Amino acid sequence: MCDRDGRALAGVLLVAALCSVAVPRPMLAQASLRDSVQLYEQRLRDASRELEEARGLARGVTDDSISVEGATLLFKGATLPNADRRRLQSAFSRAAVDLTRTFGDQGRTLLAGTRWQLSVRSYSGINTRTFAGLEPLGAGGTVRSGRSFPQFELPLQESMVTELILRHAGELMLQRHPQLAAWLSSGFAFYGRDAVFSFAARELVIHGSVRGRGCARGVLEDCAIILDPARHDEWFDASESRRGLVPASENVRASVLQYAIERGGDGFLEALGSAPGASESADGAAARGAADAPRGMSPVELLARAAKVTPDELLRGWQRELLASGATRAGLSAGRTLTTLAWVLLFAVIATRRRAA
């Protein structure tokens, strides 16, 4: 009786084990198929939403928009939390304050009339992360090309958004005169002033030509030559084999512009826009290139005119700023060197005492 019951129980257990192995396989396949269908359905919904957003933008229809400091922010199918919306508005206000501090009331004209597009995207992984993209719009409501604009993770950091706005304001300032836009093709930012002068002082010596190093020593004629694209044949002397390079880097040129802005102050933008050659289109100047500019005013002469000083005065004052920046950098380097030597000596003394013990 017990053997019969034991065999019956063993049979039941065997059938249960076989069922537990066989049943999950079709269930697992079915679950995998269901997940795949859900994934494709989600992708289809995302694609449909993006298509509707594109159609709405083409028709000039937006879900939402706000105006701040004369700029219009278009929310492209984006839902932005109220706290981030306030940070975005505050970033534009901060940028307007910085531009006003630099150019007076004229500074706000760099933001007035600009249109920006804000989009929000979520990316799913281990954790879902949401990013906002802010891009300036050109004519016809199209995103301006030629520059890459970063994605900001929410919640927004006001300082980072302010830097992006100021970077675009720098581009708009360069477009006031096409020759200047071609001379500084990588753009200009209204922040990091000390860093620009510090890098310029270093690059002028390390990466420059003989004339570049002469400029760093205070030879004004060498400065005038390396900062003038029309005189590129004079950038290097016969003993140098680095023809084709530029002795005045973008940082060097940006530092000259920075100094000219500081000297020009309130009237700089208006003087720049009224200078000879300002009527040429920026696209035409960019296609032509700075080195092929018609011989008229050099970039230094243009900046000196806008700053209401002579070219020599501009270069002489700029050189003083470079020397001061280089001295500051050298002082910091010397301080680090002394600190390092002090630590080395301290460890050497400790090690000596341990051996004596």
Indicate whether 317 and 233 sit together in one domain: yes
For residue 265, give the nearest of 208, 321, 225, 306 by alpha carbon: 306
**3-state SS, residue 133:** strand
Residue 277: pLDDT band (50, 70, 90) is: confident
Indicate whether 166 and 285 sit together in one domain: no
Q: Is residue 104 part of a domain?
A: yes
Q: Is residue 1 part of a domain?
A: no
Q: Is residue 350 part of a domain?
A: no
pTM, two decimals, is: 0.69
Indicate whether 158 and 218 sit together in one domain: no
What is the reported pLDDT for 61?
A: 41
Indicate whether 225 and 326 sit together in one domain: yes
Q: Is residue 180 part of a domain?
A: no
Integer CA distances (angstroms), 63 to 44, 75, 76, 170, 187, in order: 21, 6, 6, 29, 32
Q: Which residues contact 229 (CB under 8 A, 6 or more apart)?
A: 182, 183, 290, 291, 293, 299
Q: Is residue 342 part of a domain?
A: no
- Domain with 159 in it: what CATH number? 3.30.160
Indicate whether 93 and 166 sit together in one domain: yes
Residue 22 clears pLDDT 60, i.e. is over it: no
Q: Is residue 269 part of a domain?
A: yes
Residue that is last in its domain, among 145, 174, 203:
174
Q: Is residue 75 part of a domain?
A: yes
Indicate whether 76 and 139 sit together in one domain: yes
Report d(CA 186, CA 250) in Å as an integer: 7
Report d(CA 337, CA 60) in Å as an integer: 60
285-304: pLDDT as tens digits: 545 444 444 457 899 999 99
Indicate whether 114 and 72 sit together in one domain: yes
What is the reported pLDDT for 44?
A: 74
Indicate whether 208 and 93 sit together in one domain: no
153-200: pLDDT as tens digits: 889 999 999 999 999 999 999 999 999 999 998 889 887 888 899 999
Indicate whether 199 and 167 sit together in one domain: no
Distance of CA 349 to the CA centre of its chain: 48
Residue that is last in its domain, among 142, 174, 206:
174
69-104: pLDDT as tens digits: 999 998 876 678 889 999 999 999 999 999 999 999
33-82: pLDDT as tens digits: 666 767 777 777 667 656 655 554 454 444 578 899 999 998 876 678 88
| Number of domains the chain contains | 2
Indicate whether 140 and 78 sit together in one domain: yes
Indicate whether 325 and 199 sit together in one domain: yes
* Least confident segment among 47-61, 108-122, 172-186, 244-258: 47-61
Whole domain around residue 328: which residue ranges? 193-332
Q: Is residue 58 part of a domain?
A: no
For the chain, the average pLDDT equals 77
Indicate whether 328 and 216 sit together in one domain: yes
Report d(CA 317, CA 330) in Å as an integer: 20
